[in-house]
Amino acid sequence: MSSAPADLTIAQAASALAAGDLSSVELTEASIAAMTAARNLNAFITETPELALERAAESDVRRGHGESAGPMDGIPIAVKDLFCTEGVLTTAASHILDGFVPPYESTVTANLRSAGAVMIGKTNLDEFAMGSANVTSYYGPVKNPWRAADGKDRVPGGSSGGSAAAVSARICAGATGTDTGGSIRQPGAFCGIVGMKPTYGRCSRWGVVAFSSSLDQPGPMARTVKDSAIMLTAMAGHDPKDSTSARVDTPDFAAAMTGDIRGLKVGVPAEYRIDGTPAEIDAMWHQGEKWLRDAGAECVPISLPHTKYALPTYYIVAPAEASSNLARYDGVRYGLRMPGASLDEMYANTRGAGFGSEVRRRVLIGTYVLSAGYYDAYYVKAQKLRTLIAQDFKMAFKQVDVILTPTAPSSAFVIGERLDDPIAMYLNDVFTVPASIAGLPGISVPAALDQSGLPLGLHLIARPFDEATLFRAAHALEQAANFTARPVLVSEL
């Protein structure tokens, strides 16, 4: 084995474990050491080294008996602290969930555990997954392991910023994230890793702390497209406990990556060419087209005419659902409870102290758009627009197999920037939100460095439940981009 354990991808680590070159305990010890050394990134809310080593030892025993559970068996991963984990603190990065230790396991993390994956800890995120920079967490901001020439700390993206930072910093080869409007793909781009949002319904939401129930979707974060495919195969599957879980088979997504995209039709939407987009992002997008053409694909101009309405639609639908979902946090049954002279006062005091400013802002927006007199003007109109946006994609996919766009309108920005301008922060999701609104699978692949030396990502979108084609196209893009850069901080740890 030529690489250090922390440098191995999931696929490489699985091969090393199968060959007996490495034990899961050794691999897990390397991840724990990297996690400890990189605490300055604030990527983790809860570390679980003892539990990790126990599960790693169990994996080694299974392997010794010839009972390996598959390519994830014995692989250390991080889990976004939005997934309920039995016996392990689950906070959603919010003060209001202080001390909440679930007596049950989310379906996705249970699936990964059944596949033999080893959880090393719970990663930091924007509070209740509401944010694009991982700066709204009660536990403080996460630092992106990448540094520009100015040496300033950058955001890792959000809301799955802790997971993205952990994978990028070589703490672990894979991590779970959730994507509501771009919360896997945008941090993937900011941290120079692969971030993949499956089709809505592909992965169960049961046991995932809810933000926006019609949009939330768990997915994998890894350093390569193949690793993302391996992880998704282990995570996905129909779940009768989730009424929105799709009754579809889970293929071996990694096996679908044939390397051949000849004849594939790639749509390039005119509406994603937005005024003010940095020239280097536009140049990367054109380069992505060339890479796919050189691999045998055909690039076709397409139109998604309702794209400009996607962001305002999202910021009505998501807060409306959040205001409903977060009503359960009342200080009565679990988590934080602040005293009050009456029940109503206790509710108000608990929520006032327990929710951060961004969560309060979105709950207020959501309550407003659902209120009498405004429901038809805002929420109903947003749902109609959502249908039109989905129809745009449906029409486009009659002509093309995948759609190519940039992932984000910028590279990672400095921590503290845009905090006083929520609209500027929301615009981070301008390229990722449309696919979320339509429930489509999307993936961000690291493609280039900007002039400051920070990573940029290219984004592919596919038909519902056609993740196999998405991975095939993304793998071709990854091969052409040959993105080998890594964060400077890793060498300093």
- Catalytic residues, by residue number, are 80, 159, 183
Reading the block at residue 309, the tokens are 């309405």
The contacts of residue 64 (CB under 8 Å, 6+ apart) are none
Find the angle CA(175)-CA(177)-CA(180) to the nearest 5 degrees.
Answer: 170
221: left (phi over 0), alpha (psi -120 to 50) or beta: beta
Instruction: Quote the CA–CA distance of 447 and 200 in Å, as a whole number.
Output: 26
Q: Which position has the token pair 């029940």?
A: 343
| Contact in structure between 434 and 304 (CB atoms under 8 Å) | yes
CA 291, chain centre distance (Å): 25
Q: What is the dihedral of CA 399, 481, 31, 251, to 10 degrees?
A: 30
Q: Which position has the token pair 């050394």?
A: 37
3-state secondary structure string, the chain? Answer: CCCCHHHCCHHHHHHHHHHCCCCHHHHHHHHHHHHHHCHHHCCEEEECHHHHHHHHHHHHHHHHCCCCCCCCCCCEEEEECCECECCECCCCCCHHHCCCCCCCCCHHHHHHHHCCCEEEEEECCCHHHCCCCCCCCCCCCCCCCCCCCCCCCECCCCCCHHHHHHHHCCCCCEEEEEECCCCCHHHHHHHCCEEEECCCCCCCCCCECCCCCCCCEEEEEECCHHHHHHHHHHHCCCCCCCCCCCCCCCCCHHHHCCCCCCCCEEEEEHHHCCCCCCHHHHHHHHHHHHHHHHCCCEEEEECCCCHHHHHHHHHHHHHHHHHHHHHHCCCCCCCCCCCCCCHHHHHHHHHHHHCCHHHHHHHHHHHHHHCCCCHHHHHHHHHHHHHHHHHHHHHHCCCCCEEEEECCCCCCCECCCCCCCHHHHHHHHCCCHHHHHCCCCEEEEEEEECCCCCEEEEEEEECCCCHHHHHHHHHHHHHHHCCCCCCHHHHHC
